[in-house]
């Protein structure tokens, strides 16, 4: 992959003005995944109707109004999402999305079978006619074929799009921030390839430089990335403006970082960026903050009612497995930097911190057998629902850190204290996007995700985080 600086031939014939501003090359991104979801929905609905018609004749079309029809679609779509079948990543084996889709359909079939078993076959009957267990089985079985083919086609499109995606970077190729981007792209973590163009500063060669710039801009680009902190010449600004008005995407380096990886690049930001950057709705709109707080309280109370039998059973097992209390209380840093007491089920031995506070590590030997199960399933964090009701925490936000570690991290990581602008969360954007972390560098990476959440908060982002949390719990991924 070519991620280095390319020295162009200035003898290339410059493009005319009409040739320069061509339409940008499209890049398959989130839109592709929404297309897959729509295709899956249409496929499942169409096959269910077709199978019902073939089995019951014209009366089968009444299945469209049957409650079970909606339940089949809902359960199947949720299972396809939870199984991570929409994650089409070119760094993974091309069959992984197919395997995940088939697993999702399998789980959907088991779930529907359990629904019918517990609620009885009469659930499949109604005033609009039968759906039928045979219809359910055939629908999921036949749908597996087009859904599998759609994943293979999507992977092919993503691979082709990555090969065709070329980003023109105007900046200093030897700058540390640019070097960081080059490394990410060379590791296959970026959408395509970077091509660098140094900004010209020598006035005697300016004409040749801008002729070459016109030649570069005449090519098809996925977008232009401009390094922050540059005082662009008027002629450069004019050309970038025309490119943007012609439909080409133009980013500064930090916005491009957010676009690619959905996190904020803490390692090269400055106070001016935070002072003038847009976003941060939770801080500026009290209506959004109050609505989020209302949803937190309502959801926490509902969950406490639903899961209190599980909490009682977990407390009993913790007490029986090892000596010590069933609950574990600990000081954490909350909104505004204020400390609060967080409550969890004890998942470690009683003497786990006899020598002082330590970073939790993966496969921590201090964790008990039932503690490992609780950590994977997040049962140990259920008592934190009380913290949500009290207002110490939110459902979604940065993970609350211990005061001892917070002092250390604020000294070593720029802008670390900004994560305390909002309430910490039971789950969060960092926890569902970053693997287990137990170091300062891991904390820096998770801070980038936390700041992205604070900057770009929306209820859709909250909903996505909730669904990803379900995936983390089911598949045992994510940070603790």
Distance CA(459)–CA(279), nearest Å, equals 14
What residues contact 181, with CB distance under 8 A and at least 6 apart? 169, 190, 194, 253, 257
Are residues 124 and 184 both part of a single domain? no
Last residue of a domain, one of 138, 161, 184: 161
Question: Confidence class of residue 338 from pLDDT cuts 50, 70 and 90?
Answer: very high
Are residues 181 and 123 both part of a single domain? no
Number of domains in the chain: 3
Are residues 235 and 306 both part of a single domain? no
Distance CA(431)–CA(101), nearest Å, equals 24
Domain enclosing residue 149, as ranges: 30-161
Task: Judge whether 328 lies within some domain.
Answer: yes
Least confident of 232-236, 301-305, 474-478: 474-478
- Show the beta-strand stretches assigned E in 245-376: 250-252, 327-333, 339-345
Last residue of a domain, one of 121, 140, 161: 161
Task: Judge whether 12 lies within some domain.
Answer: no
Q: What is the mean pLDDT of the chain?
A: 79
Least confident of 93-97, 392-396, 405-409: 93-97
Phi, psi (degrees; rounded to nearest 5) at 332? -135, 160
- pTM of the model as a whole: 0.73
Closest CA to 219 of 25, 460, 3: 25
Task: Judge whether 8 lies within some domain.
Answer: no
Task: Judge whether 155 lies within some domain.
Answer: yes
Report, as an integer, the average pLDDT of 184-197: 75
Are residues 443 and 465 both part of a single domain? yes
Q: What is the pLDDT of residue 328?
A: 87
Are residues 332 and 393 both part of a single domain? yes
Last residue of a domain, one of 161, 191, 226: 161
Task: Judge whether 432 lies within some domain.
Answer: yes
- Residue bearing tokens 């204290």: 417
Are residues 410 and 443 both part of a single domain? yes
Are residues 440 and 463 both part of a single domain? yes
Are residues 169 and 154 both part of a single domain? no
Q: What is the pLDDT of residue 210?
A: 74
Question: Confidence class of residue 2 from pLDDT cuts 50, 70 and 90?
Answer: very low
What residues contact 240, with CB distance under 8 A and at least 6 apart? 170, 224, 226, 232, 250
Are residues 314 and 463 both part of a single domain? yes
Closest CA to 427 of 390, 375, 465, 476: 465
Q: What is the pLDDT of residue 422?
A: 95
What residues contact 46, with CB distance under 8 A and at least 6 apart? none
Residue 333 structure tokens: 């840093």
Are residues 76 and 175 both part of a single domain? no
5 has a pLDDT exceeding 70: no
Q: What CATH number corresponds to the domain at position 218? A: 3.40.50
Distance CA(159)–CA(480), nearest Å, equals 33
Are residues 234 and 291 both part of a single domain? no
């Amino acid at each position: 992959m070519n991620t280095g600086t390319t020295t162009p031939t200035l003898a290339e014939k410059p493009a005319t003005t009409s040739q320069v501003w061509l339409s940008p090359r499209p890049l398959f991104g989130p839109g592709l995944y929404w297309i897959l979801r729509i295709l899956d929905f249409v496929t499942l609905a169409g096959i269910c109707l077709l199978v019902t018609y073939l089995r019951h004749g014209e009366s089968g079309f009444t299945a469209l109004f049957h409650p079970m029809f909606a339940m089949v679609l809902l359960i199947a779509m949720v299972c396809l999402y939870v199984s991570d079948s929409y994650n089409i990543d070119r760094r993974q084996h091309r069959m992984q999305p197919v395997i995940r889709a088939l697993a999702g359909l399998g789980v959907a079939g088991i779930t529907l079978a359990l629904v019918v078993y517990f609620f009885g076959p009469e659930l499949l009957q109604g005033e609009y006619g039968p759906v039928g267990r045979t219809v359910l089985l055939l629908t999921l079985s036949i749908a597996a074929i087009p859904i599998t083919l759609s994943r293979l086609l999507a992977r092919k499109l993503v691979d082709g799009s990555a090969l065709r995606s070329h980003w023109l970077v105007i900046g200093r190729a030897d700058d540390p921030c640019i070097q960081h981007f080059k490394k990410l792209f060379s590791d296959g973590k970026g959408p395509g390839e970077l091509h660098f163009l140094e900004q010209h500063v020598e006035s005697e060669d300016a004409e040749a430089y801008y002729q070459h710039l016109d030649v570069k801009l005449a090519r098809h680009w996925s977008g232009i990335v401009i390094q922050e902190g540059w005082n662009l010449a008027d002629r450069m600004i004019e050309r970038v403006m025309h490119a943007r008005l012609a439909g080409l995407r133009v980013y500064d380096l930090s916005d491009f970082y957010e676009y690619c990886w959905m996190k904020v690049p803490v390692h090269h930001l400055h106070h001016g960026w935070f002072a003038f950057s847009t976003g941060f709705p939770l801080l500026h709109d009290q209506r959004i903050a109050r609505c989020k707080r209302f949803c937190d309280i309502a959801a926490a109370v509902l969950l406490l009612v639903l899961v209190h039998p599980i909490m009682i059973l977990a407390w009993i097992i913790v007490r029986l497995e090892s000596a010590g209390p069933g609950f574990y209380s600990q000081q954490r840093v909350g909104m505004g930097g204020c400390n609060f007491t967080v409550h969890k089920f004890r998942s470690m031995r009683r003497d786990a911190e006899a020598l002082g506070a330590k970073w939790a590590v993966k496969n921590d030997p201090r964790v008990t057998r039932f503690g490992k199960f609780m950590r994977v399933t997040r049962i140990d964090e259920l008592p934190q629902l009380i913290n949500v009701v009290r207002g110490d925490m939110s459902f979604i936000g940065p993970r609350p850190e211990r005061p001892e570690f917070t002092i250390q991290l604020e000294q070593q990581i720029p802008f670390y204290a900004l994560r305390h602008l909002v309430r910490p969360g039971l789950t969060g954007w960092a926890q569902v996007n970053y693997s287990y972390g137990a170091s300062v560098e891991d904390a820096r990476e998770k801070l980038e995700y936390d700041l992205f959440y604070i900057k770009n908060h929306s209820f859709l982002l909250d909903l996505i985080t909730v669904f990803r949390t379900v995936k983390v719990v089911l598949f045992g991924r994510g940070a603790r």
